[in-house]
Structure 1
Amino acid sequence: MTLRRSVALLAFAALLAGPAAAQQSASPSDDTPIRAEKPDPQKQFLIENAKRPGWKTTPSGLQYKAVKPVTNPAAPSPLATDAVLVNYEGRLIDGTVFDSSYERGEPISFPLNRVIAGWTEGVQLMKVGETYEFAIPGRLAYGARGVPQAGIGPNATLLFKVELLEILPPGAMPPR
């Protein structure tokens, strides 16, 4: 197995492990002293991104933008319990690509309820054939633990370009 494939598989495994990692995030105690600190670049990015044309923010804080909408209003959208086939690219706010099915030359399939919360919520907004961009706050991604092996730090905001190719029939996960 090549190093590139190993890193790609590790990054995808981290995507699948997201819900468990986020649940183990530490929360500050009520007696934490308040200090004047410089602004958090992750939060600042989300504040500025929300002002950009075409971007919308859900009540959870997920930000999304349709970059290639479909014109067919009857095109289906997945449910959280569906498995989907997608192409995607994941980046940090500094532009560093940490995973890409485009680079591997093959889309990936997974059950939507087995990935990070930002993906579960965001992909349900899409219709088959659409491409969206997502800005996912750390709490909807990997939380305070991050995924150091993939270069994803604690509470990192993640940026994804996702192309929804197909909603898979129940029980029909294609072989990898």
Structure 2
Amino acid sequence: MNKIFLLVLAMLFFVGCKSPEARKPISVKTGSFIDASVERNKKLNAREQAEIQKILSEKKIDYLSSQSGFWYYYNIKTDVDSLKTPSFGNIINFNYDVKTLDGATIYSKEDLKTQSYAMDQEEIFTGLREGLKLMKTGETVTFLFPSQKAYGYYGDQNKIGTNVPLICEVTVNSISEK
């Protein structure tokens, strides 16, 4: 009886000290959704780039290309070197309008009224935030934003829909320290 008890005890000890085994996954994800999303975005980007390049070639204006992925030209440029571009925390007072690439007005300057924006401390769409960093007091700039620099996939939940590239004419009235 003691031998059986010792044998059972030894077997329990041996089984109880076994290290845990890794479980095999039940299902394997292939990443097909991500691959399809990447392809959709590449096609969308190519289509928007073609539309913007068409506008750039039709107009007799020399557009500048930003490092951030949008285009712009100065309607009114300030040549005064003493004026600075905004930096973190500066308050920018500006007016702007929003149009589609075909020139249809979505929001006029009257609709949007004069805006005050604390640089990099408040929410504003990416392209406009980056565009304001290029401007000085008194300048007016026209920007062409692809949808990923504008309101992107979600739009503005009002008049701007999904994946809409935009044209914005922006005038900086003043830049002040916080």
Give the alignment's TM-score, normalised by structure 2. 0.67
In the TM superposition, what is the alpha-carbon distance from 1:141 to its structure 2 partner? 1.3
Matched, 1:57 2:62: no
Higher relative contact order (CA 8 A, sep 6+): 1
CA–CA distance in 1 between the matches of 2:64 and 2:99?
19
Deviation track 1:122-171 (CA, whole Å, cap 9, x = no partner) reads: 11111111100001111111111112422x1211111100001111331x
Match of 2:134 in 1: 125
Q: Which runs of 4+ in 1 moved over 4 A?
A: 31-35, 37-41
Give the alignment's TM-score, normalised by structure 1. 0.68
Matched, 1:97 2:102: no
- The change in CA–CA distance for 1:154 and 1:40 in structure 2 (over 3 A counts) is farther
Number of residues of Structure 1 aligned to a counterpart in Structure 2: 140
- The change in CA–CA distance for 1:33 and 1:110 in structure 2 (over 3 A counts) is closer
Q: How does 1:136-151 map to 2 (within 5 A)?
A: 136-150=145-159
CA–CA distance in 2 between the matches of 1:92 and 1:33?
25
Match of 2:143 in 1: 134
Match of 1:47 in 2: 53
Matched, 1:29 2:34: yes
Aligned counterpart for 2:118 among listed residues 99, 106, 111: 111
Which consecutive residues of structure 1, in runs of 5 or more, have no partner in the other structure?
A: 1-27, 171-176
In the TM superposition, what is the alpha-carbon distance from 1:34 to its structure 2 partner? 6.9
Matched, 1:72 2:80: yes
RMSD (CA atoms): 2.8
In the TM superposition, what is the alpha-carbon distance from 1:31 to its structure 2 partner? 4.7
CA–CA distance in 2 between the matches of 1:95 and 1:80?
32
Judge conservation of contact 1:49–1:55 (CA < 8 Å) in 2.
no
Deviation track 1:96-139 (CA, whole Å, cap 9, x = no partner) reads: 212223x2594221223221110111111111111000011111
CA–CA distance in 1 between the matches of 2:117 and 2:131?
14
Q: How does 1:13-24 map to 2 (within 5 A)?
A: none
